[in-house]
Structure 1
């Protein structure tokens, strides 16, 4: 992978903390939801309820499609990415604890708002590994995108 494009992808991932992710429902239709995420380089982590539809979808088929971008005022300011990836459940307790720590570090505590950090056993934590990334940058021209294939 081209190092300049890789750094552009990592920079976009680092600048955001929510994504829209589509999983595949049992009837074959995509289901898209918004989730918070954290990343370590190109690897993303998110969590959901253990009994959620998203967790059930991913237990059947780990393929996902996701999008990350800003809501900009002008179309020619669009920058973001979309990704085809695999989302696999994190079963290792140490990796799960690290992922939770990374996720909640992106959401600083607010005064007067109490929140108890869940344990890895309380939630379903997923590791997202990209296979193909499309880097959108309309500042380089309408609908400009660079397609990057990631190593397995």
Structure 2
């Protein structure tokens, strides 16, 4: 028991890493839109919304091959992602993106996409030659949760198998 008037340090209230991971995955699964910020060739950032699918430890999304977003990612695979909005919780992530080119992996992603409710389906279809299937692998995640006043922010590094390390 703490003495009266003693205030807990911010670290003493930090949830264990397994709980942080659960909360991150829960937010990822509750949403289907994310903001993707890329670096343009002129140095200015570009942010756009995309549908995404959490498939295992990856966030998959499709983009048009002739889009500025695809050109930006090919030139510099570092992106910032933001997910949330409708609730008091959200994620801000630093990630590396690469194109998924293996036909079996694309087929696997397509099966998961088409099994989703129509309202959350991807368009255009990822097998179209006009689109690229991309995979974002988060490295640093900031979890913001205003559901518990006065609000909480947890910063973590994603390590192998989506284990998290508090930063």
TM-score range, shorter chain: 0.7 to 0.9
Residue pairs, 1:49-64, within 5 angstroms: 49-64=64-79
Residue pairs, 1:24-103, within 5 angstroms: 24-72=39-87, 78-103=88-113
Q: Distance in 1 between matches of 2:149 and 2:119?
A: 39
Aligned residues: 143
SS at match of 1:58: helix
1:33-62, Cα deviation, whole Å (9 max, x unpaired): 000000024410000101111110000000
Name structure 2 gaps, 5 residues minimum.
1-15, 161-167
SS at match of 1:146: strand
Name structure 1 gaps, 5 residues minimum.
73-77
How far 1:148 moved relative to its partner? 1.0
Q: Distance in 1 between matches of 2:54 and 2:133?
A: 13
Higher RCO (CA < 8 A, seq sep 6+) = 1
Larger gyration radius, structure 1 or structure 2: 2
| Over 4 Å off, 4+ runs | none
Superposed CA RMSD in Å reads 2.3
